[in-house]
Chain A
Amino acid sequence: MSTTDGTAVAGAGEPAAGDGGPVLRMEAVRKTYGRGRTVVLRDVDLAVAPHTVTALIGASGSGKSTLLRCANLLEEIDDGAIFLDGEEITDPRADADAVRRRIGVVFQAYNLFPHMSVLDNITLAPRRVHGVPRAQAEEHARALLARLGLGGRAGEYPDRLSGGQQQRVAIARALAGRPRLLLLDEITAALDPELVGEVLRVVRDLKEDGMTMVLATHEMGFARQVADQVCFLDGGVVLERGTPEEVFGAPRQERTRQFLRRITEAGRL
């Protein structure tokens, strides 16, 4: 993805409203299901600096996806606070739709709209939410598609595309609103191994463009390469955090070591 053609991929280059402070900040976030019976997130603190990538790792059910859903207000938290560019978004008076407009989300199962063409999938939010005129929205969408290697696919329906192509369309859709922050929820988990690479390459390019991202992933090698910060979640708690070198190279917690050992063993089999 070249940055020379002048098509901004995102609002990544815009000055942060919180004058250099973190784009996303979580403070003692608690989330439970079933009226408090199952605690999914426990006192989670997190700060994501502008133009950095945070990787959330941990076993299934450790709370990675829930954390992302809470950050996008798809789930209501029980306690604590979440800030976007210094503004509290978990305030009941905050406009949830306006918050979601500033955050892009890519889901594990793509969640493309099957009744719309690729182009309509991407231009829906710009046209209906951001009020961009159709021609302009389509021009931006085509530029995004071209940069994600999907130039000729604008008129196709999602079901005709491979998983990797669908996930790249989903990324284009999330980028079309020029978000401040991109949340990626295990975006390669549903893909065949040979298609994982094409999606990860896109994420790597986005990082080079300066996109701020939080990603939940099982791809440890990728997390190690691309992340500035790695958080290991276990039972809804951020058990360990640091640079990839710290977390992968010299994990301090026994649970982290166990988890990484299991992952490596599975990879060797």
Chain B
Amino acid sequence: MTYGAEQMTETTAAPPGDDGYVPSARRLARERYRRARARRATAVAALSTLVTGAVLVFAITAAPGWPRTRETFFSAAYARLALPKVLEGLLLNLRLLVVCGAAVLVLGLLLAVARTLRGPVFFPLRALATAYTDFFRGMPLIICLLMVVFGVPALRLQGVTTDPVVLGGAALVLTYSAYVAEVFRAGIEAVHPSQRAAARSLGLTSGQTLRFVVLPQAVRRVVPPLLNDLVSLQKDTGLVSIAGAVDAVYAAQIIAGKDFNYTPYVVAGLVFVALTIPMTRFTDWVTARMDRRRSQGGTV
């Protein structure tokens, strides 16, 4: 009697099928063992996290310079002072992200397509796109930024803006479109040649093949790495501050420069982290969803 009752409670973890299946003693023993292992692993993980955290906190707060550091980097008063200004500056970063992100995607896709064009007619275009990606992928973003932001106004061209926001954004687009072009190109080349053959055999032109068959598959494949590059672009918008555009970083710099208290920088940094986390989780979610669809045999 007691044995039967025990079995009933055990099977709630694995409901019996409608065919009257009752889990065997072997299965129940296995499940008991797995549960015990899981409990132990959780306990070990929790304990080691606590110990590590405690050690870190102790090591930092016991450091001789800690009171001074705390005042300079983690001052609550300065944080309160800086936060509104930093958030105000952040609006510029967000605007840059949206505009530059869109421009980067378009330009990146055009560059990638130009690089995959075949035939001698397209040689100049292909060569140009290759040179562009090689150059701007190798050039450090900060140098590209300095050259555009200070070099272009120095030319004193008629009708060309000297606005550091526009020029800084242009520098971001130059660099990031080279990265994104390579991501798109990898996606295009990952589409099997037999897909192209099938499309051409139906009478589609090479342009139609690219548009209806190759690009839709290529773009789906590279969504996770693309989002990754967008997260990266999001924080690199902070670099326009070196050109004097008042974004979140520059707003922090203005306050920090007055009293030599670096708390505003920490605030700005945390704001960027807070901004990228949703984007990163979104990337994870999209990737996981695509994997799930693929394992079900479907495509997104």
| Bound form: Cα–Cα A109–B195 in Å | 10
Of residues 79 through 134 on chain A, the ones whose CB sits less than 8 Å from some CB of chain B are 97-98, 100-101, 103-105, 107, 109, 111-115, 124-125, 128-130
Q: Which of B61-69, B196-204, B270-278 contacts A (4 or more CB under 8 A)?
A: B196-204
B216 within 8 A of A: yes
Of residues 174 through 193 on chain A, the ones whose CB sits less than 8 Å from some CB of chain B are 174, 177
**Closest approach, in angstroms, between the C-beta of B251 and any C-beta of chain A?**
45
| Bound form: Cα–Cα A101–B208 in Å | 14
A107-B198, A157-B299 known; A115 and B217 CB under 8 Å? yes
| A62 / chain B contacts, CB cutoff of 8 Å | none
Q: Are B195 and A125 in contact (CB under 8 A)?
A: no
Q: How large is the interface on B (under 10, 10 to 19, 20 to 34, 35 or more residues)?
A: 20 to 34
Q: Are B200 and A74 in contact (CB under 8 A)?
A: yes
**Complex partner residue of B197 from A107, A157, A174, CB under 8 angstroms:** A107
A173 within 8 A of B: yes
Interface string of B180-218 (1 = CB under 8 A from A): 000000000000001101111111110010001100110
A159 within 8 A of B: yes
**Complex partner residue of B203 from A98, A109, A115, CB under 8 angstroms:** A98
- Complex: chain A residue closest to B206, CB-CB: A97
A35 within 8 A of B: no
**Complex partner residue of A125 from B197, B202, B217, CB under 8 angstroms:** B202
| A101 / chain B contacts, CB cutoff of 8 Å | 202-203
Q: Are A115 and B299 in contact (CB under 8 A)?
A: yes
Interface string of B207-233 (1 = CB under 8 A from A): 010001100110010000000000000
Q: Are A111 and B203 in contact (CB under 8 A)?
A: no
| Bound form: Cα–Cα A227–B154 in Å | 78
| A107 / chain B contacts, CB cutoff of 8 Å | 194, 197-198
Q: Are A129 and B220 in contact (CB under 8 A)?
A: no
Q: Are B217 and A129 in contact (CB under 8 A)?
A: no
Q: Are B204 and A97 in contact (CB under 8 A)?
A: yes
| Bound form: Cα–Cα A107–B217 in Å | 20
Q: Are A113 and B203 in contact (CB under 8 A)?
A: no
Given contacts A107-B194, A113-B213, A124-B204, 17 further A-B contacts (CB under 8 A): A98-B203, A100-B202, A101-B203, A111-B194, A111-B197, A111-B198, A113-B199, A113-B217, A114-B217, A124-B202, A124-B212, A128-B204, A129-B202, A129-B204, A157-B298, A159-B298, A177-B202
**Closest approach, in angstroms, between the C-beta of A129 and any C-beta of chain B?**
4
